[in-house]
Chain A
Amino acid sequence: MNTLKWVNKMVETTTLPAPNLPKFPLARYLKNQPDAVEDRVVLHAPQAIAYAAGSSEVQRFTPTNSLDAWLLRSPQGATTVDIPAHFVSGDDPIVLTGPKNAGGLLYVHVGKGAKVTLQEKWASGGHVLGIWLMLVVEADADVNWLSYDSFTADTVLVNRTATLAANAKLNWTLAGFSHNSGLNRVDVRLLGHNAEVTVNVGVLASGNQHVNYTTSVTNEGQHTVGHINQRGVITGNAHLMFNGIGHIIKGARGSDAQQENRVLMLSQRAEGDANPILLIDENDVTAGHAASVTRVNADQLYYLMSRGLSATLAKRLVIRGFLEGGLAEIDDVRLKKELFATIDRTLVAEDA
């Protein structure tokens, strides 16, 4: 009960975790209540690793902004996964599957020097869901992380936060193939020296979806590298907004912040935004950004058609290729096929 009071107090004193742009009223989303369903995330690991689920795990989540507080407001299932130091995962990834009709809290701790490949999959349904993934990567660890979202719920607010200690590496791909509206926040803090993160995002937005992907990387340690690469395809009446935030704090000398945000619009009614934001408080750094909102590349279309492929098939391949720019790091062949099949199905359904 005490915790709850404290949470409510936090709400009043903190700012929003994503820019509250006119086209994306996060504050209004936060007025909804998350569905009151408690469930846990299921773990499939080829080798034995520590795993705990239950309400006692909630204590690991400390709110620092209004979204965090919102995510803790209703009772939520919580799951903790602890990957021991120097653990090395085999060929098969560790798979974390979200509950069928609930959001929840997921805390993953990767011990020092571990080398792991993880997949986090969500296909949950419901009215309003909240998900908070907290990933803590200790020094020298090397993590390959795939988040695969195919939510069927109406509204989902996802908060994925990660911290990296010295020399840690995180290669993160987020495949957004959901049907919901809402916010997808990815927030990575490079705390230790030489920590490196690449966040690749590939999103297919269709129907009446109204989604915001806000990905931010903060370089706090020296010689840290943060790269953001977001690609989105928009069909139907959907509205997709990419915010990329690269923040290098004072003292993070020798750091690098790069980002690319690109959206491809397939229909007249589709709306797309790509907002690159660089916040640089240190001089001795490198940083850069690129952004574009485009339509299907006519030269690529022409090339494929000149080999006899119909305009429809050629267009689908060009679109797939564009999205592949955000999904290139996925080397799970079966999963890749599934994603490509979803792209094709969605485009057929939307007649795009």
Chain B
Amino acid sequence: MHTLEIKDLHVKIKAEPEHPEILTGVNLKLATGEIHAIMGPNGTGKSTLAETIMGNPAYEVTQGDILIDGESILGMAVDERARAGLFLGMQYPQEIAGVTNAEFIRAAINARRPEDDQIRISDFLKQLDKTMATLEMPESMADRYLNQGFSGGEKKRNEILQLMMIHPHFGLLDEIDSGLDIDALRIVAKGVNLMRGPEFGSMIITHYQRLLDYIIPDVVHVMKGGRIIESGGPDLAKKLEKTGYEHLKVGEQNG
């Protein structure tokens, strides 16, 4: 079992030192085998939390710590964190020409393996074909440049393809459901559910209960004002769908 632990995390945007902290003390513990959902209104720090865990250089940790298996990762660069087991499925995946989807995914897999034990091309292709079929992606998408000219839905599906090929310990999924039609949502959820198991934990950020009908979380957290103000089981998400976030107050024990 592996653990990802967030301790009293305070975060600022580096470029705006005058701006108040976006995260004001987040505490969270995620273990492999668990799926946690993070919900909350816009502008409450959900994406900041995911980006900060991944090590996005735009954010600065002013207090607290992030630990994997008890070891702080704050001093680690983005790529080291990735190789330590983190994966961030991004809200806006970048388009990069000149490198095909397949080449890129193979490079990402090989980055985790020793130089003298790189994945065999035939094994890789077999695995890629199978995973793409699961996600109902046409074969041609393997040879297209990374996210180049992909529709919003294709990009999200491609994030899940990478997640499934890379096999990280922790998948942070930032609004993986935004911009997806109901069929694409079902397919993306199928991919995440296939990852479920003792070696995989996930933190799913979403605005909507709908995604959580397909991926049933073990724990639901509600964020507001830069911290988690309430945690509960899957029912909490359903309750919020009815009541909204407005009545929840920062700094008070709700529920």
B111 touches A307 (CB 8 A): yes
- Please, how many angstroms separate the alpha-carbon atoms of A317 and B79 in the complex? 15
Stretch of B87-95, B129-137, B229-237 at the chain-chain interface: B87-95
Q: Which of B90, B98, B166 contacts A308 (CB 8 A)?
A: B166
**Pairwise interchain contact A306-B78, C-beta atoms closer than 8 A:** yes
Which residue from A302, A304, A308 sits with its C-beta under 8 Å from B57? A302
Given that A302-B57, A307-B82, A307-B162 are known contacts, is A313 also in contact with B107, CB under 8 Å in the complex? yes
Number of B residues near A (Cβ < 8 Å) is 26
Distance (Å) between the CB of B101 and the closest chain A CB? 12
Q: Does A340 contact B (CB under 8 A)?
A: yes
Chain A residues within 8 Å of B55, by CB: 306
Decide yes or no whether B54 CB sits under 8 A from chain A: yes
Q: Which residue of A lies closest to B86 (CB)?
A: A306
Query: Contacts A307-B82, A308-B83, A309-B111; is A302 near B96 (CB within 8 Å)?
Result: no
With both chains docked as a complex, state the minimum distance between the C-beta of A206 and any C-beta of chain B, in angstroms. 18
Interface pair A311/B111, CB less than 8 Å apart: no
Q: Do A325 and B77 touch (CB < 8 A)? A: no
Interface size class of A (residues with CB under 8 A): 20 to 34
Residue-by-residue, is A155-170 near B (CB-CB < 8 Å gives 1, otherwise 0)? 0000000000000000
Contact residues, A290-312 vs B (CB, 8 A): 297-300, 302-311
Which residues of chain B from 198 to 242 have a CB within 8 Å of any chain A CB? none
**Pick the contact of B78 from A302, A320, A328 — CB < 8 Å?**
A302
Q: Is the CB of A324 within 8 A of B97?
A: yes
Main secondary structure of the interface of B (DSSP, over half): mixed
Q: How far is the CA of A303 from the CA of B93 in the complex (A)?
A: 7
Q: Is B13 an interface residue (CB 8 A)?
A: no
Nearest CB of A to B104, in Å:
7
Q: Decide: A320 near B98, CB < 8 A? Known: A302-B57, A305-B79, A307-B162.
A: yes
Asked whether A323 is an interface residue with its Cβ less than 8 Å from the other chain, the reply is yes
Given A302-B78, A307-B166, A308-B83: A317 in contact with B98 (beta carbons within 8 A): yes
Q: Which residue of A lies closest to B109 (CB)?
A: A308
B55-71 residues with Cβ-Cβ distance < 8 A to A are: 55-57
Closest-by-CB residue of B relative to A339 is B98
Do the beta carbons of B78 and A305 come within 8 Å of each other? yes
Tell me the bound Cα distance from A318 to B95 in angstroms.
Answer: 10
Among A297, A305, A310, the most chain B Cβ lie within 10 Å of the Cβ of: A305
Contact with A along B102-139 (1 / 0, CB 8 A): 00100110011000000000000000000000000000
Asked if A321 is at the interface of the complex by the 8 Å CB criterion, the answer is yes
> Which residues of chain A are near B54, meaning CB under 8 Å?
306
Determine if B99 is an interface residue (Cβ-Cβ < 8 Å).
yes
**Complex CA distance for A321 and B100, rounded to whole angstroms:** 10
Question: Nearest Cβ distance between residue A268 and chain B, in whole angstroms?
Answer: 20
Q: Which residues of B contact A309 (CB under 8 A)?
A: 79, 107-108, 111
Given contacts A302-B57, A309-B79, A311-B77, A321 and B107 within 8 Å (CB-CB): no
A304 to B162 CA separation, bound complex (whole angstroms): 11
Whether A308 pairs with B108 at a CB distance below 8 angstroms is yes
Q: A306-B78, A307-B111, A308-B82 are in contact. Are A300 and B94 (CB under 8 A)?
A: yes
Given contacts A298-B57, A308-B79, A314-B79, contact A303 B96 (CB under 8 A): yes
B96 CB contacts on chain A under 8 angstroms: 300, 303-304, 317-318, 321
Cα distance A305–B78 when bound, in Å?
Answer: 6
Q: In the complex, A305 Cα to B107 Cα: how many Å?
A: 11
Cα of A23 to Cα of B191 in the assembled complex, Å: 56
Residues from chain B with a CB closer than 8 A to the CB of A340 are: 98
B162 CB contacts on chain A under 8 angstroms? 307
A321 with B78: CB separation less than 8 A: no
Contact B94 A303 (CB under 8 A): yes
A300 to chain B, nearest CB (A): 5
> In the complex, A300 Cα to B97 Cα: how many Å?
11
Give the residue name and chain of the B residue nearest to A300 (CB). B94
Q: How far is the CA of A313 from the CA of B79 in the complex (A)?
A: 11
Contact B111 A308 (CB under 8 A): yes
Task: Contacts A309-B111, A321-B96, A322-B97 known; list 15 others, CB within 8 Å.
Answer: A298-B57, A302-B57, A304-B96, A306-B79, A307-B108, A307-B162, A308-B82, A308-B112, A314-B79, A317-B104, A318-B96, A321-B99, A324-B97, A324-B98, A324-B145
Q: What are 15 A-B contacts defined by CB distance under 8 Å?
A: A298-B57, A299-B94, A303-B94, A304-B94, A306-B54, A306-B55, A306-B88, A307-B104, A308-B108, A309-B107, A309-B111, A318-B96, A320-B97, A323-B98, A324-B98
Which chain B residues have a beta carbon within 8 Å of chain A's beta carbons?
54-57, 77-79, 82-83, 87-88, 90, 93-94, 96-99, 104, 107-108, 111-112, 145, 162, 166
Instruction: Give the interface of A toward B (CB within 8 A).
Output: 297-300, 302-311, 313-314, 317-318, 320-325, 328, 340
A-B interface, 10 closest residue pairs, ranked by CB to CB distance from nearest:
A324-B98, A308-B82, A320-B98, A303-B94, A321-B98, A308-B111, A307-B108, A324-B97, A305-B78, A305-B79
